[in-house]
Structure 1
Amino acid sequence: MERSVAVVAYDDAELLDIACVTTTLATANDRGADPAYAVRLLTPGGRAVTCRPGLRLDAHEALERRVGEVDTLIVAGGYGHERAAADEVVLAHVRRLARNARRVASVCTGASVLAAAGLLDGHRATTHWFFAGGLARAHPAVTVDPDPIFVRDGSVATSAGVTSALDLTLSFVEEDHGAALARGVARSLVTYLQRPGTQAQMSVHVAAPPPADDVVRAVVDHVAGHLDDDLGAAALADRAGVSQRHLTRLFRAHLGRSPGEHVRRARTEAAAHLLATTDLPLPRVAARCGFGSTETLRTAFLRAYGTTPSEHRRAFVTSRVTSRVTSRVTSH
């Protein structure tokens, strides 16, 4: 008995979005996945699709003609996602296949197809950071989180840009066949051993150029270097020499978030980095990053990443240990 996996593609789909999924599952088969994955590429009309940069990819069968239950349905992303999300035939058959699938997933901008089909309503989801704002505006019933590299919300999973599909697919392999096989697949692909889904796509400190406004830039720099200081709205406004209301207007105009939201995000990212790279106990991490208590840190983590600080640390510790073991084995 095989696990049926249907990957949906369309013209201007991203080839790497597709290959990250199909190659990972094929490698799992090579390493003894039982039951094995039966992967089929579905396209509208069963036609070959053109992927960037002009490469043609043949389909296994037509999306419209696929019958029977599908274990896992995955929609690829790419610059053709808007046309695919506006194609009622594509949406109807994605809904039909999703109805009885055990898992439904998307890669990158494939989330817009799932959202247009109504499959993300009421769910937390992610997509490529560049397209996250547009997805949120177009589909207010979806809770779009632009930070994680992938999000799993019940039976629905969404991944961020391009190569994050490797991490999501490795999580499927681990769920289906255990951590040992997932590690073996990661080694075969010479890839990082499954980054946790909580890992951010981009840090708040590098996601965009420095703010053009001198006041905002000075406050942002102060926050980054003084996370354990008083960074309340009144203190920041006083430091900037403007009113709280004016500072909030400047932050929203230049960063798209309030000063308080920026501070919380900066503190949470700093804590995530410390948890992943040091052995500092949670109380010290919380204090260093400006959280009043470990419970406040925990609340911030749950809100930002959907996991606890301890779970985040365990995921990275496991990855570091396994990587060291793999390196020793390989070197000998």
Structure 2
Amino acid sequence: MTDKKQRTIVIVVPPKAQPLDVSGPLAAFREAYRQTNGEIQYDVRTLAAGVHQQIDIDGMTMIADHALSDPDFPIDTLLVAGTHDYHQAFSMAAFHTWLRRRTPGIRRYGSVCTGAFFLGAAGLLNGKQVTTHWQQAKELAARYPQAEVFPDSVYVQDGALCTSAGITAGIDLSLKLIEDDYGRELALKIARRLVVFLRRPGGQSQFSAHLAAQMAAESRIEAVQRWVLANLAQDLSLPVLADRAAMSVRNFSRLFRRETGGTPADFVELARVDAARRMLEDSETQLQRIASQCGFTNVDLMRRAFIRRIGINPSDYRQRFYT
């Protein structure tokens, strides 16, 4: 372990915050004390993103330890929790000012889920690589075009800035920060206590959620999608899929895009990459066999699909995520 000095962790709680965005990181950092018999202690505090300490958070009321109006105190790590009502971020000028004033003196700062919108509104995402909940990633990129948004990552660290994906990914980010401070062994103990995986590495996760979100409500399209998922090694060209739906290629393509927001080819590639991803995580099967079983003509085509969809090649993915 590195030095054992107490580090002050502040979780900023905006109005209507998602409880797990607050309690997940809080539990991870506080568990360090119990897992080391008091040798390591994070001083974890909550701070209301307004002048009052009382905050409504998604059906509950909490009293934060601090409010923006309190006198300054040293902060080692600052995380802004997310909220379903993240559009309030654009009008919280006092909070923006506070963030711009405090973050230069903080060792690391960041966000959980849609907390990234508050950082963006304060101008702290410009020129940075970031992530957020996959459902809001496109909007985050549109609102803050100077940021590079990674929609499929569990978390992203860019210098002092650390951002995580949706909700439970805040625990993954917290475990990563604990590992940075005190090593993998402590992070593993905490993960076991919280009954979570020792942090999913940053590039891994939101992927399957994207695939699930593209499932159509229209029965003919959904039936084709489910057939695709069950027959990845088959010919899944556009004419074959259109014939499966008993439609012309043109009508099938138009209806598919209307129902899913993407093309049939995009869905097929996502499905094949997702299946290959799971095989790489769970088995030692050779890459050529994985490519064949998942419908890729050869390993090179699978490699290009992985880089396009996930950002790393299959060999590197296995090295990082094989369990």
TM range (shorter): 0.7 to 0.9
- Tell me the equivalent position of 2:57: 51
Q: Distance in 2 between matches of 1:64 and 1:291?
A: 58
Count matched residues. Answer: 316
Residue 30 (1) aligns with residue 62 (2): no
CA contact (8 A) 1:149 1:201 kept: no
Q: TM-score, normalised by structure 2?
A: 0.83
Residue 82 (1) aligns with residue 87 (2): yes
Residue 195 (1) aligns with residue 171 (2): no
CA contact (8 A) 2:233 2:293 kept: yes
User: Which secondary structure state, in structure 2, belongs to the residue aligned with residue 194 of structure 1?
Assistant: coil
User: Which secondary structure state, in structure 1, belongs to the residue aligned with residue 125 of structure 2?
Assistant: coil
Tell me which of 118, 126, 130 is aligned to 1:125: 130
CA contact (8 A) 1:10 1:80 kept: no
- Tell me the equivalent position of 1:326: none
- 1:276 deviates by 1.6
CA contact (8 A) 2:53 2:66 kept: no
User: Which secondary structure state, in structure 2, belongs to the residue aligned with residue 109 of structure 1?
Assistant: helix
Tell me which of 173, 177, 181 is aligned to 2:182: 177
- Tell me the equivalent position of 1:255: 260
Q: Deviations over 1:246-286 (max 9, x none)?
A: 44332221111122221221111111111122221222112
Tell me which of 3, 14, 17 is aligned to 1:13: 17
Residue pairs, 1:302-317, within 5 angstroms: 302-317=307-322
Are the structure 2 counterparts of residues 201 and 261 from structure 1 closer, same or farther at C-alpha, using a change threshold of 3 Å? closer
Paired letter, 2:65: A
Q: Deviations over 1:167-193 (max 9, x none)?
A: 111111112221111011112223333
Q: Distance in 2 between matches of 1:122 and 1:272?
A: 30
- Tell me the equivalent position of 2:104: 99
Paired letter, 2:131: T
Are the structure 2 counterparts of residues 155 and 213 from structure 1 closer, same or farther at C-alpha, using a change threshold of 3 Å? farther
More deviation, 32-41/15-24 = 32-41
More deviation, 112-121/9-18 = 112-121
CA contact (8 A) 2:114 2:136 kept: yes
Q: TM-score, normalised by structure 1?
A: 0.81
Paired letter, 1:28: A
Aligned-CA RMSD value:
3.0
Q: Deviations over 1:132-168 (max 9, x none)?
A: 4443444444444444433334543322222221111
Q: Distance in 1 between matches of 2:47 and 2:273?
A: 40
Q: Distance in 2 between matches of 1:248 and 1:63?
A: 56
Structure 2 residues not aligned, in runs of 5+: none
- Tell me the equivalent position of 2:294: 289
Are the structure 2 counterparts of residues 234 and 127 from structure 1 closer, same or farther at C-alpha, using a change threshold of 3 Å? same
